[in-house]
Structure 1
Amino acid sequence: MNVLVFNSGSSSLKYRLVDSTNGKDLCKGRLERLGEEHSHARHQWLSGTGVRREQGEDYDSLDHSAALQHIYQHLETLAEQENLPSPEAIGHRVVHGGDRFRRAVAIDQNVITEIEQLAPLAPLHNPPALAVINQCREHFPQLPQAAVFDTAFHQRMPAHARRYAVPDHWYRDHRVQRYGFHGISHGYAARAAAQQLGRPLEQLKLITLHLGNGASAAAIKNGHSVDTSMGMTPLEGLVMGTRSGDVDIAAALHVAREEGLDLGQLEQELRQCSGLLGLCGSNDVRDISSRSDQGDAAAKLALAIYAYRIRKYIGAYIAVLGGLDALVFTAGVGENSAAVRAMACTDMQNLGISIDKARNRCPGLDGSKAIHTPGAPVTILIVRANEELEIARQTMALLNAR
């Protein structure tokens, strides 16, 4: 089955046409800087003769709706010129499914209404996903469409990991609890790690680290998430590109009182002005690492705080799991920053974690993505993120079960 996947970010839109039976990409692309002065698109596809082709385009400011129109036109052109097959189903990534959605679901008006009601919990992500869903239902009215939720993978977390120590009516009346995010990525990384290890996922204790501009850790036992660093919203947990991660709420309230900030302004400070950006003026780990290498004190401190928080969560999750079989790095920073991986694994030999410096610098040279010291008790793996393939597979599984 050929599944067209849409992955909507706050300022980006990724798409991919996947043959979900074999995982083969027929075409894919990414439109970035949506809502900014200039937008950019990058398209890749497999030509009719089997050659990989690529094309970049620059546009004046696009929103998600206009970006979708460009994608439609591109797919129609490829169908005419390269015999690109038509999609048979559409899968959408939706960040927040609350406690209502425990798995992928077929999209209907009730599902759309519930996603809309959850938008205040993921204001940067659910609204653009809804915009894409609604437009796709108009453009492809004959195709089945599925919503795949980032929160679903974490829905089996035990109550002692989900609940906050706040008044009980917060939970009963407002559903205040920890939902977790990046579940599509964590689930894919866990299954890929099990495959690399040659062991059943149901027998493994794993920590997966999704490190990108957004970042989260997950403790996975016997194939299920038992804890994760993000909470009711994607703000809690690890230090991120522009998000604070864990912070004393009283400190935030103190600053709000001192500076006269309203709740919206305070939320913006924590979501868009904090994290690495707040510490050193940049949210790009590549830029920060380069500045750190050149002796920039703010960049050095930012990286140290970033890696320290990761190490704290690794240690905590080893305790939660009662041991560890593999530590898994995935997503842009996790896959590409040897410096971050090395710092995150520093001084953890007593927990069985020992990174091989040469393998870490050049993973894959020996055909493996394993970067631990030979003989170390804990395997350290790099898994290339593939959320779109995971969405395609869940979409196909949902349709096959109907």
Structure 2
Amino acid sequence: MARPILLLNCGSSSIKYQMMDAASEQVLAVGLVQKVGDAGAGTLDHEVAGENFQLEQRFENHTVALEAVVQMFADHGPDLSQAEAVAHRTVHGGRMFQQTTVINDAVVAKLKELYGLAPLHNPPGVAGIEAARKALPDVPHVAVFDTAFFANLPDEATTYAIKHEVADALNIRKYGFHGTSHQFVSAKVAEFLGRDINELKQIVAHLGNGASMSAVDGGRPIETTMGLTPLQGLVMGTRCGDVDPGLFAYLQRKYGWDVNETDSFLNKQSGMLGLTGKTDMRDVKALVDAGDPQAILGRDVYVHRLVSYIGSYTALLGGLDVLTFTAGVGENAAWIRAEVLQRLAPFGVRMDEQANEVRSKEPRRISTDDSTVTVLVVPTNEELAMARETLAVIDG
């Protein structure tokens, strides 16, 4: 029997969605709304059964955008009234939410209390939740939290070295993000290898425009790169990742910036964009191949940070069985994987060059048989993970 679930991912100016049959795990429809809240016209692209339908109009807010999405389903299918639930990707659950949760008014109110922890992510997410509950009031709505997989990290990993009274009062700790992906991929690794996940020491590198890494010991995460916010850790498309915390005050003193200007600079104008002028790794590679010195430096900084964390996490795990690359860059940028693995060669990590160049939507091994660490590429599927989580919750 079909079990359709509508999956929503609401950003500040966009809505990504899928309709998935959670029983067969078949994707029934995909769509994207862009330029929500802009003064000009936005676009809605809706794909079903291999056909693409587009709408151009102004989407004043998420409510208007969700109404347009509902109408697109009504006009072109599939039948949205058959959806058993709506799943919302929710970035920050704070200490309040440590598992997938059915949404009610009290949950929405608590999510609003978390705005300060994720000012770039939670407000549009909540706006999407409110709009979707209004547009589809007769089905359960479920929040799937990016932070849930990391809710039980060891205290030594989550605790910042600041006055504990302040940390406790303001809920300041490492939360971690991309948890849905890290959980899905680490489980898929064990399935692919035919191994018991409880026996595996894993590092998962989720490399996309947003990037994070996790150390997973026996299926349980013990460390991750993102922290209180998604700014900490690896170099990303527009986010700086790790910097000296004193940089915030330094920039404000030198430029007279307020906290919002500083936050925007480090979140939206830094990372690979700041280093190379590009956010797409294909564009960065073209510059590297052309010998652009700034792009070469950007690549080296990106790889240096990855290798540093791999070394650190291997020590924390007490060894390493599997290193897995996933997400847009991790799955598709063979040249980045090669750069990382070349630096790990002194430790017996051996890359199969031909296997590394293969492009596939299937999990694959890219290390040789004599490598001290198994290296995999495993495509992530956060939407499938969300659908599974939602089905488990609504089935009780």
TM-score range, shorter chain: over 0.9
Q: Give the aligned partner of residue 13 of structure 1.
A: 15
Q: Give the aligned partner of residue 382 of structure 1.
A: 377
Q: Structure 1: how far apart are the matches of 2:249 and 2:67?
A: 43
Q: Give the aligned partner of residue 66 of structure 1.
A: 64
Contact 1:78 1:84 (8 Å CA) reproduced: no
Question: CA deviation digits over 1:276-313, x for unaligned, max 9?
Answer: 11112222211111111111111111111111111111
Deviation at 1:158, TM superposition (A): 0.3
Structure 1 residues 147-156 or 128-137, which shifts more? 128-137
Structure 1 residues 190-199 or 146-155, which shifts more? 190-199
Deviation at 1:174, TM superposition (A): 0.8
Contact 2:225 2:233 (8 Å CA) reproduced: yes
Aligned pair partner of 1:248 in 244, 247, 262: 244
Aligned pair partner of 1:135 in 131, 138, 151: 131
Q: Give the aligned partner of residue 279 of structure 1.
A: 275
Q: Structure 2: how far apart are the matches of 1:65 and 1:75?
A: 16
Asked if residue 186 in structure 1 is aligned to residue 182 in structure 2, the reply is: yes
Question: CA deviation digits over 1:111-158, x for unaligned, max 9?
Answer: 111111111211121111111111111122110111010000001100
Q: Give the aligned partner of residue 386 of structure 2.
A: 391
Deviation at 1:368, TM superposition (A): 5.4
Question: CA deviation digits over 1:192-243, x for unaligned, max 9?
Answer: 1111111122221111111111110011111111100000001100011111
Contact 2:238 2:267 (8 Å CA) reproduced: yes
Residues 102 and 368 of structure 1, relative CA distance in 2, 3 Å threshold: closer
Residues 145 and 302 of structure 1, relative CA distance in 2, 3 Å threshold: same
Contact 2:237 2:280 (8 Å CA) reproduced: yes
Contact 2:66 2:135 (8 Å CA) reproduced: no
Asked if residue 362 in structure 1 is aligned to residue 364 in structure 2, the reply is: no
Aligned pair partner of 2:29 in 23, 27, 30: 27
Residues 356 and 32 of structure 1, relative CA distance in 2, 3 Å threshold: farther
Q: Give the aligned partner of residue 157 of structure 1.
A: 153
Q: What is the letter of the counterpart of residue 42 of structure 2?
A: S
Deviation at 1:338, TM superposition (A): 0.9
Q: Structure 1: how far apart are the matches of 2:163 and 2:288?
A: 44
Q: Structure 1: how far apart are the matches of 2:59 and 2:287?
A: 31
SS at 1:347 equivalent: helix
Contact 1:242 1:278 (8 Å CA) reproduced: yes
Contact 2:307 2:343 (8 Å CA) reproduced: no
SS at 1:315 equivalent: helix
Q: What is the letter of the counterpart of residue 371 of structure 1?
A: I
Q: What is the letter of the counterpart of residue 16 of structure 1?
A: Q
Contact 1:179 1:231 (8 Å CA) reproduced: yes
Question: CA deviation digits over 1:323-376, x for unaligned, max 9?
Answer: 1121111111111111111122222124343222211111449x7521112331
Residues 144 and 84 of structure 1, relative CA distance in 2, 3 Å threshold: closer
Structure 1 residues 96-105 or 276-285, which shifts more? 276-285
Aligned counterparts, 1:218-237, within 5 A: 218-237=214-233
Deviation at 1:87, TM superposition (A): 0.6
Residues 198 and 120 of structure 1, relative CA distance in 2, 3 Å threshold: same
Contact 1:158 1:226 (8 Å CA) reproduced: yes
Q: Give the aligned partner of residue 54 of structure 1.
A: 52
Q: What is the letter of the counterpart of residue 44 of structure 1?
A: E
Contact 2:93 2:145 (8 Å CA) reproduced: yes
Aligned pair partner of 1:78 in 66, 76, 79: 76
Q: Structure 2: how far apart are the matches of 1:339 and 1:75?
A: 40
Q: Structure 2: how far apart are the matches of 1:150 and 1:86?
A: 27
Contact 1:363 1:369 (8 Å CA) reproduced: no
Q: Structure 1: how far apart are the matches of 2:321 and 2:54?
A: 42
Contact 1:39 1:62 (8 Å CA) reproduced: no
Q: Give the aligned partner of residue 95 of structure 2.
A: 99
Residues 35 and 315 of structure 1, relative CA distance in 2, 3 Å threshold: farther
Q: Give the aligned partner of residue 49 of structure 1.
A: none
Q: What is the letter of the counterpart of residue 211 of structure 1?
A: L
Deviation at 1:70, TM superposition (A): 2.4
Residues 17 and 322 of structure 1, relative CA distance in 2, 3 Å threshold: same
Deviation at 1:244, TM superposition (A): 0.8
Q: Structure 1: how far apart are the matches of 2:347 and 2:153?
A: 24
Aligned counterparts, 1:288-307, within 5 A: 288-307=284-303
Contact 1:7 1:388 (8 Å CA) reproduced: no
Residues 39 and 339 of structure 1, relative CA distance in 2, 3 Å threshold: farther
Deviation at 1:57, TM superposition (A): 4.9
Q: Structure 2: how far apart are the matches of 1:176 and 1:238?
A: 20
Q: Give the aligned partner of residue 45 of structure 1.
A: 48
Contact 1:148 1:391 (8 Å CA) reproduced: yes
Gaps of 5+ in 1: 47-51
Q: Structure 2: how far apart are the matches of 1:334 and 1:136?
A: 32
Q: What is the letter of the counterpart of residue 107 of structure 1?
A: I
Q: Structure 1: how far apart are the matches of 2:128 and 2:359?
A: 37
Question: CA deviation digits over 1:223-272, x for unaligned, max 9?
Answer: 11110000000110001111110000113312221211222211111111
Residues 139 and 85 of structure 1, relative CA distance in 2, 3 Å threshold: closer
Residues 41 and 192 of structure 1, relative CA distance in 2, 3 Å threshold: farther
